[in-house]
Structures are given as structure tokens and as C-alpha cells.
Amino acid sequence: MSKDTIEAMVDGGKASAGPPLGPALGPAGVNIGKVIATINEKTKSFAGIKVPVKVVVDKDTKEFEIIVGSPPTSQLLKKEVNLEKLSGKAGSEPVADVKMQQIIKVSMMKEEAMAVNSRKAAVKCTIGTCVSAGILVEGKNGKETMKDVETGKYDKMITEGKTEISAEEMKELEAEKKKLAEETEAKHKQEEEAAKEAEAVPEVKEGEEETKDEEKEESAPEEKKE
């Protein structure tokens, strides 16, 4: 039995007949509208996240199967902290902070796809993604929090699968996110001003400085001899 497999990244619950799916599904001879509706039903829980999907089509019967993959960890984190985009300079410009409960939540969603041997290992993988995405963990750089995980500080929380945070904690995280954004904006303004000041300073070409010094010496009045 011959089958075709069509792969694409779609917005959870919002796939459409346009590119990339539509043009790829056309030659397969399936009911495109039905395929799209099935994909959206299966991915609606991932609203706001890019999700990998596979459409497996039987060439003879035109029946199809939808296989929904696991969204990238970075996408799950982006949704968890309610960000439009992650940091472009992860090492120097953090964009958000997360609690360990949120790390555990994302790790449990990715645990099977990560092919790790424990939830703790999955948590460490998720923290690693935070480092490259510019997301602080428990108010610290992920590398520091990783050491806390390795020493067992969060073992009980990880084992019990704690994923809930309080409204007060969420409020604190939103305030921290706003503060980080303001700090980054202020930093960018300072860099722009410094760049403008540097451009305003006239460039002295090699040899010009020596010439100017010679002109000053020639124009200087001679000392009176006694």
C-alpha cells in the first residue's frame, strides 16, 4: 500500500488551505477542506504555537491520517511567558523570568519527545532552551538555576509534577518582564546616542595631526633672546 507523507509547520488551530499545506495537498487528491478541519481540531490546544504536523495519504483510497508532532520547546516557553518574540541577544538582554513550576509544565509536555530517561533530565533540557532564549529561571540565569537542579534543590517539586503558580506570582513575573523590557530599551537608546556621538566626531586622517602640530609650531612667536 503506497502512501504519501506531507509535513508542515502550522499555527495551532489555525491551519489554512494556503501555503504551505494547500499547494502540497492538491496533488495528493484528498479533500483539502476536510484535512484542514481535522488538523485544526487536533491542534486547537496549541493555540498561538507553531506545531509540526504530518499528513499521511493513502494513494489508492485517498484516506488520510493526521500526526501532530510536539511543538518546539522555545514555542511552548514563548506561550508560557506570553511573549511575541524571544531575545535576540540571550546572553545580555533577558526578556522574561519563569518559575520552576512553569519549567516543569513545559518539560512534562516535551518529556516524551525529548527521549530523556527522567523528568529531571527533561527539566534541565528546558532550562537549556531558556538560556538560549534569554529567559531567566527563578530570577537567575538558567546556567545558575541548572546548578540548583543538579544539587537537588527542586527534586521534590519535579517529582510531584508541580505546575501551578499563584496569581500573585504571575503578577510578579509580568512586572519583571516589563522591567526587563524597559532596561533593554534604555540600553538600546544609550547605544544609539553613543553611536551618533561617535559619528559626529570628525575623523583625523593619518598625517593630518602631524601637519597641524607643525603649523602650530611655525605660527608660535619666537622667544626673545636676552
- The verdict on 100 and 158 lying in the same domain is yes
pLDDT for 104-113, tens place per residue? 999 988 887 8
Q: Which domain range does residue 152 map to?
A: 73-188
| Nearest alpha-carbon partner for 15 in 27, 24, 4 | 24
Same domain, 14 and 103: no
58 and 101 share one domain: no
What is the SS3 assignment for 19?
Answer: coil
User: What is the CATH classification number for the domain harbouring 167?
Assistant: 1.10.10.250
In a domain, 84, yes or no: yes
CA distance 57 to 20: 16
d(CA 192, CA 106): 37
Confidence of residue 215 (pLDDT cuts 50, 70, 90): low
Confidence (pTM): 0.68
Number of structural domains found in the chain: 2
Q: Mean pLDDT, to the nearest integer, of 191-220?
A: 67
Q: For residue 145, what pLDDT band results from cuts at 50, 70 and 90?
A: very high
- Where residue 13 falls (left for φ over 0; alpha for ψ -120 to 50; beta otherwise) is left
Tell me what the pLDDT averaged over the chain comes to. 86
What is the per-residue pLDDT across 30-53, written as a single tens digit (0 to 9) for each? 899 999 999 999 888 787 788 899
Q: What is the CATH number of the domain that holds 27?
A: 3.30.1550.10
